[in-house]
Amino acid sequence: MSSPIHFGTSGWRAVIAEEFTMANVRRAVGGIARHIVSTATDAPSLIVGYDPRFLSEKFAALAAEIAAQHGIHCYLSPEAVPTPTIAFAIRQRKTDGGINFTASHNPAEYNGIKFSMANGAPALPEVTRKIEAEIANPSPVALPASPAPIERADFRPAYLEDLAQKVNLEVIRSAGLRLVYDPLYGAGRGYLDGLLAQAGVPAVSLHGRRDVLFGGHPPDPADEHLGELRQAMAETGAHLGLATDGDADRFGILDEGGAFISPNHILALVLDYLIESRPWAAGGTWQGGTAKSVATTHLLNAVAAYHHIPLYETPVGFKYIGELIEQDKIILGGEESAGMTIRRHVPEKDGILACLLTAEMVASRRMSLAQQLEELFRKVGSYYPGRWNVPLTEPVKKQFIERSRQEYSSFEGRRVAKTDRTDGLKLVLEDGSWVLFRLSGTEPVCRLYCEAPTQKGLEELAAAARRFLFG
């Protein structure tokens, strides 16, 4: 029996050679191809790309071949390409969707498939359910006598040109900011640094070659993986460190001096900065809001309230934020896991855009991020968010699922003001502190999110949340 292929929070992910095999990729891509043929126009087309993981380019070539056999015109990237660039290419070339071979920020032994829809947004559950059904029970299709063409296409120039319109690179250049960029050996290399070079902004880049082991740690721009970026910043006296994940849809930011700034805080600062600096974000007749996953900081709620704009809350997964961008309801949408996009940009998270907007904000305000955050806290209140990944044994997982179904009027002796079940179990306490437990859809862990008005409050809450899980 072949194992089921399941699309989680963002695509199908599996360990290479274990479940991520040529045979299973054939099955998965066959399902996607039949789905496209059954829903698309008479001349279906598809973008195919990949990240720099082991065998990614081989999987992508196989995928293009299978899709072409189904009569789908393929545009195949000649090199590793970021997920947001694929989203952009789908929209620009008006294809019926796109496939990216990537396991994003997961460790090196993983690979995966992200499927994006005709609008460039990550596939919604109703679409991935259909694809999963197609994979499990293939419907009969008549293949054309000759395959559709497979065209090699470089998606980078058009995407970078578009970014150069959305970010004020001149502000970064004229401020004389010294930047260091770490793509973590991922698909961002040549993109963010390429654009900065084009714009005449001097920047040092690290890890700009392929290493399918990602230097021995996951290509995840979290604090614990940015040691080399921090070191390079110290050596060059840099003002800011920028990083992106394996498929460059997530960002990671180090402030002057090398301090990691929570992506949660970056989202709130950039929203505030856009309202301050972009005519399309404030004033005028269009009244946009902001959107965030239920796991994301309430500092965004506070910034939204401060500027009198609506706030939308979604389950975890950028596909839900993508929908709100498509409906033109928001200035900025984000997730605490370092996902961000803005109005009129792709309905997909874009780590390259997020890094550049942060650099522009620092250049324009001429203040470190720590200083900017202090100022924002003074205006709207302070918020200290945290997230922990907790691997669960089967018995603890079962106990967790049972506990998360129950109702709670108090949590560790404190009164629960609100229970939110948008995704997992979220308990909001009377002082606005909150805790959220949910099972990850990309990794075999339980995610524990907490937030409190002080660092001490955060630590106490996190300890209480662990007692809840393991007690």
User: Would you tell me which residues interact with Co ion (CB under 5 A)?
Assistant: 104, 245, 247, 249-250
CB of 239 to ligand VG1, least distance (A): 26
Options 34, 53, 91, 105; binder of ligand VG1; rule CB under 6 A: 105
Does the footprint of ligand VG1 cover residue 317 (CB under 6 A)?
yes
**Long-range contacts for 376-381 (Cβ within 8 Å, ≥24 apart)?**
376/268, 376/269, 376/272, 376/299, 376/303, 379/306, 380/299, 380/302, 380/303, 380/305, 380/306, 381/299, 381/302, 381/453
Does the footprint of ligand VG1 cover residue 441 (CB under 6 A)?
yes
The HSE-up count of residue 195 (CA atoms within 13 Å, CB side) is 26
CB of 442 to ligand VG1, least distance (A): 3
**Long-range contacts for 53-59 (Cβ within 8 Å, ≥24 apart)?**
53/16, 53/101, 53/102, 53/103, 53/108, 53/110, 53/111, 53/212, 53/246, 54/16, 54/108, 54/111, 54/212, 55/16, 55/111, 56/80, 56/101, 56/102, 56/111, 58/22, 59/22, 59/25, 59/101, 59/111
317 binds, among Co ion, ligand VG1, none (CB under 5 to 8 A by kind): ligand VG1
316 binds, among Co ion, ligand VG1, none (CB under 5 to 8 A by kind): ligand VG1
Does the footprint of ligand VG1 cover residue 100 (CB under 6 A)?
no
Q: What's the order of all strands across the beta sheet hosting 110-116? A: 12-15, 110-116, 98-101, 45-50, 73-76, 150-152
Which strand (E) or helix (H) includes residue 114?
A: strand 110-116
Structure tokens at 9: 């929070």
What single DSSP character describes residue 423? Answer: S
The pattern of x and - marking residues 244 through 273 that bind ligand VG1 according to CB under 6 A reads -x---xx-----------------------
Stretch that binds ligand VG1, among 63-71, 174-182, 403-411, 436-444 (CB under 6 A): 436-444
CB of 187 to Co ion, least distance (A): 9
CB of 410 to ligand VG1, least distance (A): 27
Torsion angle of C-alpha atoms 268, 270, 276, 282, degrees rounded to 10: -80
Compare residues 192 and 427 and give the one whose CB is closer to Co ion.
Answer: 192
Which residues, 276 to 295, sit near ligand VG1 by CB under 6 A?
Answer: 293
Does the footprint of ligand VG1 cover residue 447 (CB under 6 A)?
yes
335 binds, among Co ion, ligand VG1, none (CB under 5 to 8 A by kind): ligand VG1
Distances (CA, A) of 36 to 13, 44, 449: 21, 7, 37
Q: What is the distance between the alpha carbons of residues 448 and 236, in angstroms, rounded to a whole number? A: 36
Compare residues 251 and 400 and give the one whose CB is closer to Co ion.
Answer: 251
CB of 350 to ligand VG1, least distance (A): 11
Compare residues 30 and 218 and give the one whose CB is closer to Co ion.
Answer: 218
Strands 98-101 and 73-76: unpaired
Compare residues 11 and 71 and give the one whose CB is closer to ligand VG1.
Answer: 11
Distances (CA, A) of 226 to 92, 181, 183, 363, 455: 34, 10, 10, 22, 22
Which residues, 352 to 371, sit near ligand VG1 by CB under 6 A?
Answer: none
CB of 216 to ligand VG1, least distance (A): 19
CB of 403 to ligand VG1, least distance (A): 19
- Residue 144's identity, in one-letter code, is P
Does the footprint of ligand VG1 cover residue 335 (CB under 6 A)?
yes
Does the footprint of ligand VG1 cover residue 104 (CB under 6 A)?
yes
339 binds, among ligand VG1, Co ion, none (CB under 5 to 8 A by kind): ligand VG1
Q: What is the distance between the alpha carbons of residues 13 and 464, in angstroms, rounded to a whole number? A: 32
Give backbone dihedrals phi and psi of 396, rounded to 5 degrees, phi first.
Answer: -65, -35
CB of 246 to Co ion, least distance (A): 6
Does the footprint of ligand VG1 cover residue 451 (CB under 6 A)?
no
**Total residues at interface with ligand VG1 (CB under 6 A):** 19
Does the footprint of ligand VG1 cover residue 440 (CB under 6 A)?
yes
Options 100, 116, 264, 442; binder of ligand VG1; rule CB under 6 A: 442
Three-class secondary structure of residue 385 per DSSP? strand
- Rule CB under 6 A: which residues touch ligand VG1? 9-10, 104-105, 245, 249-250, 293, 316-318, 335, 337, 339, 440-443, 447
